[in-house]
Amino acid sequence: MPFDALDADLDARRVANLYRQRRVLDSPQGATVDVDGRRLVNFCSNDYLGLASHPDLIAAAQAGAARWGVGSGASHLVCGHSAAHEAMEQRLAAFVGKPAALSFSTGYMANLAAVTALVGRGDAIFADKLNHASLNDACQLSHAAFKRFAHNDLAQLERLLATTEADRRLIVVDAVFSMDGDCAPLAEIVRLAEQYDAWVYVDDAHGFGVLGDGRGSAIGIDSPRLIYMATLGKAAGVAGAFIAAEAVVIDYLVNMARPYIYTTAAPPPLAEAVLASVGLIEREHWRREALAMHINSLRAVLAGAGLMPSATPIQPLLVADSAVALRLSQCLGDAGLWVSAIRPPTVPTPRLRICLSATHDAGDVEHLGRTLLTLLQETR
Ligand code: PMP
């Protein structure tokens, strides 16, 4: 058969407990979802503020579709850049305190676009080893020298900066690490960039809307060297991403970034939904307060069990191997709790990855904590 080799690869994955499968949802995204005929409390979603199904976003998308139609028709540089996209970019730039912004259909595309446009042969990238896969792919694709430093190891970063000859130098980090939930020391990284004449590209997919009073992880770090990227499909509850930076950087990306230039602009109704979302992120502080309450409640349970919880909505629970991760995820599912098992190659160490949301019920978070404790005792 023509695809025997693929079949064999998939079989090897099954044997190693690394086979991946999608599950089909039969409800809108939310704190609880319908999946496989059951209602589960959803602890896997990045909908941290519970905005993905918010009536204001739905109304804005509906009104946007009525006003603009659904499809954008072309790439931004041809004729796909609507006043809705323009208004969204201006609003996002102002919200995160940068002179200009550029929107993308996905965060993956934003990372590919920015990194491959900003650096190439003769340049150097300095990247945290736990950066998101899309950043790693972008760095590989750029053809710049790709220097990786141990997770959050500023001393190693400094050594690399001090000893690497290159034309342009780009430090690339996640602001909140997507599989561990911990944060990069951005202020110190920007200080090193200033000292060694580098630029800093920050992926704040998991901080925007949540940290910095909603304005993200980089708020208060006032440096033109910092190029800020955030996604709009997580806390913002829609889809897409934006990069906010000095106007010259944005202009450069519009002119040079191939994954920006050669793709159809996102549907304008989504830009209207993002505008509605930014309003809620700005006004509704109670969402971040509720999220903080859930984080603290689960942290207390995990710390009490000798684990190392994070301070963000992403809580990793590292386990011995992929089989254990799958079994724990299955047991949690039996208790009505959906927690995903994350395995290599996505992460070096298999784990459960718990994601909290403002719209979770406090009782459900307590139920998760109690169930985890029982399962961990049985596993040890
Ligand atoms: N960066 C990080 C840190 C992410 O977690 C993700 C999403 N998994 C992305 C980028 C990609 O964003 P998107 O899903 O919008 O493509």
Q: Are strands 124-128 and 145-149 parallel, antiparallel or unpaired?
A: parallel
241 lines ligand 1 (CB under 6 A): yes
Is any atom of ligand 1 closer than 6 Å to the C-beta of 105?
Answer: no
Nearest CA to ligand 1 atom 14: 107
pLDDT in tens, 220-243: 999 999 999 999 999 999 999 999
Q: Which helix (H) or strand (E) covers residue 122, if one does?
A: none
10 Å Cβ neighbour count for 5? 8
What is the Cα 97 distance to its own chain's centre?
A: 20
Phi, psi of 304 (to 5 degrees): -60, -30
* Assigned token pair, 54: 């918010």
User: How does pLDDT run along the chain (380 residues), one tens digit per residue?
Assistant: 999 999 999 999 999 999 999 999 999 999 999 999 999 999 999 999 999 999 999 999 999 999 999 999 999 999 999 999 999 999 999 999 999 999 999 999 999 999 999 999 999 999 999 999 999 999 999 999 999 999 999 999 999 999 999 999 999 999 999 999 999 999 999 999 999 999 999 999 999 999 999 999 999 999 999 999 999 999 999 999 999 999 999 999 999 999 999 999 999 999 999 999 999 999 999 999 999 999 999 999 998 888 888 999 999 999 999 999 999 999 999 999 999 999 999 999 999 999 999 999 999 999 999 999 999 888 76
Positive/negative CA dihedral, 321, 326, 331, 333: positive
pLDDT value of position 305: 85
What is the atom index within ligand 1 of the atom nearest the CA of 109? 16
231 annotated binding-site participant: yes
| CA-nearest residue, atom 15 of ligand 1 | 107
- Rounded to whole angstroms, how far apart are CA atoms 319 and 306? 13
* Residues β-bridged to residue 337: 41
The answer to whether 178 is a known ligand-binding residue is yes
Task: State the ipTM, two decimals.
Answer: 0.99
Query: Per the annotation, does 206 bind a ligand?
Result: yes
Cβ–ligand 1 contact at 204 (below 6 Å)? no
Helices 107-118 and 133-142 pack at an angle, to 10 degrees, of 30
Was 201 annotated as part of a binding site?
no
Q: Using a 6 Å cutoff on CB, does residue 203 contact ligand 1? A: yes
Active site residues: 178, 206, 234
> What domains appear along the chain, each with residue ranges and CATH number?
17-49+285-379 (3.90.1150.10), 55-283 (3.40.640.10)
Mutate to test the pocket of ligand 1, among 128, 134, 206, 234 (most ligand atoms within 8 A of CB): 134
In the reported structure, the alpha carbon of residue 3 is separated from the centroid of ligand 1 by a whole-number distance in angstroms of 31
From the CB of 242, is ligand 1 less than 6 Å away?
A: no
